[in-house]
Amino acid sequence: MNDVESLKNSIRSAEDLGAVARTMKTLAAVNIRQYEAAVESLREYNHTIRTGIKMLMRHSTENLTGRVVAGSQPGVIVFGSDQGMCGQFNQQIAQFTVETFPELSQTGPPVICIGSRAADSLRAAGISVDQVSALPGSADGMTSLVHELLPVIDQWRMAYDVGRIMVVHNRRQTASTWKPHAFQLLPIDLAHLQRTSGKKSESAGVSLPYWTMDPDRLFSDLVRQFLFVSLFRACAESQAGENASRIASMQSAERNIRERLQHLRTEYAQTRQTAITEELLDVVTGFEALESGKP
């Protein structure tokens, strides 16, 4: 009977693990929605910032590109995760970073990693991480994180002569898939902004607004807000991708648990049947012994 009790305990443990996997999958789906909603909430604001920069480009006779950064050393911001049970999420973003920026393992430019597990994966890949920041537990905390990152970017420009800042993060593709993505944060691609910003206003026949304040100050404020929106979106997309990876991991765990449960239940039925058969045989043998001992 000890084997039967042991199998009962194993079945209960597997069922509990299955319930945990289902709960985590549900929470991950809810988290994806909140991060997508956070990105969506910035859509119009992002359009306004881009339109403002295009406005300055159209009316100013100066070269705005030169005001952003002047160094040559690259800097990389990598978004990963602090939590586990998300499959190869951090390993893939680390591998993508190494393949996209091979100079990181050679010259050692500054690297900021958002997420301790991603930082471990980067170090394992031979990349020195200059700073590690913790991810917020919800979409509400991303604003504080981005405000912490912006001064660090300014420090890079002074301490490391940084002239190009890249952002690397995973971007969700479907409910349970993601893909690494990189984009240039600084210098701002003003030519791209000029091609894409303001199309909505122009197509509707609305003229671009004008300004009355100092153009240098206005451009500086717009760039800072542009950086905020870009980093906020990267963080939200990364966390949505993390939860997509977690859904995929939990789906795989559920399949394994179902297979394990099926095996345990079959083994339990066979063991219990064997035990019952042995007990019946003992009863029959005892009865026959008693019968044979009668005069």
Q: What is the DSSP letter of 293?
A: T
Cα 61 from Cα 190, distance rounded (Å) = 14
Name the fold adopted by 2-27+250-292. Helix Hairpins (1.10.287)
**Angle subtended at Cα 89 by Cα 103 and Cα 33, rounded to the nearest 5 degrees:** 125
Tell me how far apart the alpha carbons of residues 245 and 83 are, in angstroms, rounded to a whole number: 12
Which homologous superfamily is 29-249 in?
ATP synthase, F1 complex, gamma subunit (3.40.1380.10)
User: For residue 107, what pLDDT is reported?
Assistant: 62
* The two structure tokens encoding residue 187: 């210098």
Strand partners, 75: 165
What local confidence, expressed as pLDDT, does residue 1 receive? 47
**pLDDT for 181-223, tens place per residue?**
999 888 877 666 666 554 544 444 555 566 777 777 888 888 8
What pLDDT does 196 receive?
A: 59
Domain boundaries, the chain: 2-27+250-292, 29-249
Distance CA 227, CA 152 (A): 12
Tell me the C-alpha to C-alpha distance, in Å, between residue 82 and each of 34, 153, 242, 243: 18, 22, 10, 12
pLDDT confidence of residue 238: 92
Q: What angle do CA 94, 95, 98 make, to 5 degrees?
A: 90
Question: How far apart are the C-alpha atoms of 235 and 233, rounded to whole Å?
Answer: 5
pLDDT of res. 156: 77
Q: Are 2-27+250-292 and 29-249 the same fold in CATH?
A: no
- Flag residues of the chain having pLDDT under 50: 1, 61, 63, 65-70, 198, 200-204
What pLDDT, on a 0 to 100 scale, did the predictor assign at position 232?
93
Residue position matching structure tokens 């019952």:
276
Rounded to whole angstroms, how far apart are CA atoms 29 and 175?
8
pLDDT at 203: 46
